[in-house]
Structure 1
């Protein structure tokens, strides 16, 4: 294994390749993404997954498509803006639960709209979009490293030596680089305070056993893989001091949507007195939603449960059985100890999170 195998997104201007994460850890295959349609299909089919990585991959796919239009586009600057905005709306429809993609599309739409208002040529709008998408790629890595630093510092203050449990994959493969929850684990290890990381297998797509375990081994972090159903038993032994997970969307009250099975881990952590942290960039926060009850939960195809390898392998379940396969669940804020962001850790005032106040304070300081 070399560092390139942990690079989910390979990009240089005019070219985008996505690591086919369905084939890991046994095969390392990169797929060429030439336009927004191919990116939509790659996101939908889980070639790329993880809320930050989805957003970056989508934005860059349109940047690649836009590069081809710099020569030969005959429309006006408004036509260019309309083209980009329509493509962004299309990309957002690929997976509805993760807010990062919608947030990125909203910010890019604003940039495109503002550029079109002053541009005298379509290429100026296209160039503004390409520059903005590339900046998002750079900012995501910096954001993840800041999340890791804040999380490690906060958790060290609670315990000098810690073992943590994580769920799904939130590392370099789920982001532009470094990771969110796995970024915190990386930082704890680098700071010399991590005793052991436990990762769940994360059924039915096995992101934990295929991807997180792969990253932990690559980074030489002491780690142990467990079955999803073993988490409560592990916590009962006292060997887990904290659970750290990622997030696909965080509501204004702190309710959090994450990979299916996260809610069960939070309930178990509460029962066993284990701290439960969510690590996510502020782009995962959706202040328009009062609570997690308003989060749209994506349902995945039945074959992911009926067949091995997330639906790609042989059938193992009985033919004719009905399937319910939600991709995410919502963890109530009252089960969450803190939300680790690139700007610091959001803790509770009393029994509630004031996420809006935290964000407004950051804005006022800037």
Structure 2
């Protein structure tokens, strides 16, 4: 088992965008094939692809997909550029918090206009090559983050991480998990504590899956166990990713991150944020300006599950054949539970949502929170390790990096 056993997250194949459907992992490993940029937008909204760096790559590939499909029918440069801008803006607006999404879309818009002096056929090819370059750059940045972060850890480190800032959240390798993977290769990791990360359980579903594939020792815990294991002296560092970092060092990340940072300060544990410079947004003075996405209340009032049914007899196979003969079969379940059974190759797949809260309850479900810079020990980017005062150090670290403030 090694890091290379983890699949790439998103790529270009035969004129289409292909991505791992993370909404069904780890028990179902489906690929989504997007023929249009609308399909990429749907995948982003449904969190089939997620994680700030991966969203930046998805935005770039989505724009390239439009340019080589619907955009190929436009024969006027100005009309092409105007429509490309509209498409890029639409992709960027699918989710508001992760700045990489807007960064990827904006970089593609700027690139297209900077190269508008060539003929349209050549421009479309250049746009695709730029999107592929963004994907390749992402892996290079993540590996540099991993090396920079691993240098901060001592031998025998016990690290806690939250959500999934792993390979699945990027084109490949990961940010916070990239640090852990690099440190593990150097023999520094004794073990990893994996927060399950309610309500969508990215820690339990995705981070645990990645660490298992990579052969990194870990234990899965519920989110509310973190304080207890810190007090017991079982955590040497916390490493998380980020969705947007403001100019003063305030960090927006998965809901629950702020609480971990407060706990770290109370227990004297370093709190590290691992993110590429494309996640830094120097156009925002502080975290209060970051838009926090509100998600569907069903993420809190119930649980989503996916799996594959393996009939244990010919009679069972015939029964499932009958149920799915006319297409997906919605199982009639009382109390608002839902389950759909569908054929998948020679087997059968189910997707379900099961209610755990009483019907009619009010729900507040922000997807992210903001950790004030005063709780952050250091921010690890591909350009190095940044420490307070972040207002000065972040600006220097991001200089010439092509972060969103330089795309203006």
Q: Given the two structures, how large is their TM-score scaled by the length of structure 2?
A: 0.83
Where does structure 1 differ by over 4 angstroms across 4 or more consecutive aligned residues? Answer: 1-5
Answer whether contact 1:305 1:325 (CA < 8 A) is retained. Answer: yes
- 2:322 corresponds in structure 1 to none
Query: Secondary structure in 2 aligned to 1:243?
Result: strand
Mapped partners of 1:88, 1:352: distance in 2: 30
- 2:65 corresponds in structure 1 to 64
RMSD: 2.0
Mapped partners of 1:303, 1:169: distance in 2: 21
From 213, 229, 233, the counterpart of 1:234: 229
Mapped partners of 1:41, 1:64: distance in 2: 14
Task: Using the TM superposition, give the Cα deviation of residue 7 of structure 1 relative to its aligned residue in structure 2, in angstroms.
Answer: 2.3
- 1:145 corresponds in structure 2 to 143
Q: Please say which structure displays the higher CA radius of gyration.
A: 2
1:64-99 CA-to-partner distances (Å, cap 9, x unmatched) read 33223576x342122221221111000001100000
Mapped partners of 2:279, 2:14: distance in 1: 26
Task: Using the TM superposition, give the Cα deviation of residue 361 of structure 1 relative to its aligned residue in structure 2, in angstroms.
Answer: 8.1
Unaligned runs of 5+ in 1: none
Query: Secondary structure in 2 aligned to 1:289?
Result: coil
Query: Secondary structure in 2 aligned to 1:269?
Result: helix
- 1:307 corresponds in structure 2 to 302
Mapped partners of 1:362, 1:216: distance in 2: 30
What aligned pairs does 1:124-273 form with structure 2 within 5 A after superposition? 124-153=122-151, 155-156=152-153, 159-273=154-268
Aligned residues: 356
- 1:357 corresponds in structure 2 to 396
- 1:53 corresponds in structure 2 to 54
Task: Using the TM superposition, give the Cα deviation of residue 355 of structure 1 relative to its aligned residue in structure 2, in angstroms.
Answer: 1.1
Answer whether contact 1:162 1:241 (CA < 8 A) is retained. Answer: yes
Choose 103-112 or 240-249, whichever is displaced more. 103-112
Query: Secondary structure in 2 aligned to 1:234?
Result: helix
Unaligned runs of 5+ in 2: 306-337, 339-351, 403-408
Query: Secondary structure in 2 aligned to 1:6?
Result: coil
Between structures 1 and 2, the one with greater helix share = 1
Answer whether contact 2:146 2:179 (CA < 8 A) is retained. Answer: yes
Choose 56-65 or 352-361, whichever is displaced more. 352-361
- 2:376 corresponds in structure 1 to 336
